[in-house]
Amino acid sequence: MRLQPRWWIGVAAFLAYAAWLMAVWTFLGIDYAALGTQENLLRAIILPLGVAAIALTVFNWWSGWWKQTTHEPRLRAPLFLAILALPIVGFVSLNLYATGWATLGVEHTLILAVAMLLVGFCEEMVTRGVLLVSLRGSLKSEAWAWFWSSTLFGLLHATNAFFGLGSAALVQVVLAFCAGTGLYLVRRLTGYIWVAMVAHALWDFSSLARGQAPASESMAALYFLAGIYAASLVLVFLVLRQGSSRKP
């Protein structure tokens, strides 16, 4: 490594990313409720996150952190992975099934897919990549690395309060902490951040697609969503206990 990991480096990268998005959204006058439109996906997601993705890639290359941010020893807990994967697959599948694809259209679908791939790449690389590596370089306990990386991931969503979400953003912060815990587990259990990026992108893609063109009013997906949160909060303690003797 050219740059020794320290907690403040990851926090600085996190704050820079959040400040960059807030500045762009403020300049453009983005309304969170209308984020899924084609125009907003292009100007508020694809363009600024494209810049952020390049910056994160350059930083990882320069610092020599690429291997550490993208890969770690896989925990041998296939049952844990199956328990977590089941509600994630169920949630995404039901959302995709309940989307009116003809209404959404091919162009909108492709733009949404690119946008959510960038969201998955950038948010995972910032929080469960650069930030997690930085925290591991300063903290002796993996439990604290999980807690603070998931907490900051949750707080990243607090910025939505300034773009029309209001006090509801507080609920989103808590739910994002649970979701971040699940994505942390995906990284730990598979050994690759790329799997967490894909899961993150599919999660957001299916949710926004259904929100933009709902084909049914079924609430079944919410049960799987609750299952993701519950499984994440239970499994994280089991994973941390199993992996305590061999810190990544």
Find the radius of gyration of the CA atoms of the chain: 18
Q: Which of 150, 128, 129 is nearest to 232 (CA)?
A: 150
pLDDT in the model for residue 243 = 61
Total-model pTM: 0.94
Query: Is residue 104 predicted with pLDDT exceeding 70?
Result: yes
Query: Is residue 244 predicted with pLDDT exceeding 80?
Result: no
d(CA 184, CA 118): 18
Share of the chain above pLDDT 70, in %: 98
Give me 173's structure tokens: 């912060």
pLDDT in tens, 166-225: 999 999 999 999 999 999 999 999 999 999 999 999 999 999 999 999 988 778 899 999
Q: What angle do CA 186, 75, 8 make, to 5 degrees?
A: 65
pLDDT band at 246 (very low <50, low <70, confident <90, very high): very low
Asked if residues 191 and 72 have their Cβ atoms less than 8 Å apart, the reply is: yes
Query: Is residue 139 predicted with pLDDT exceeding 90?
Result: yes
pLDDT in tens, 41-84: 999 999 999 999 999 999 999 999 999 999 999 988 999 999 99
Neighbouring-strand partners of residue 214? 99
pLDDT band at 141 (very low <50, low <70, confident <90, very high): very high
Asked if residues 207 and 99 have their Cβ atoms less than 8 Å apart, the reply is: no
pLDDT in the model for residue 245 = 42
Share of the chain above pLDDT 90, in %: 90
Which amino acid belongs to residue 21? L
Mean pLDDT along residues 121-147: 96
pLDDT in the model for residue 45 = 97
Q: What residues have CB less than 8 Å from 62, skipping those under 6 apart?
A: 2, 3
Dihedral sign from CA coordinates of 40, 205, 200, 226: positive
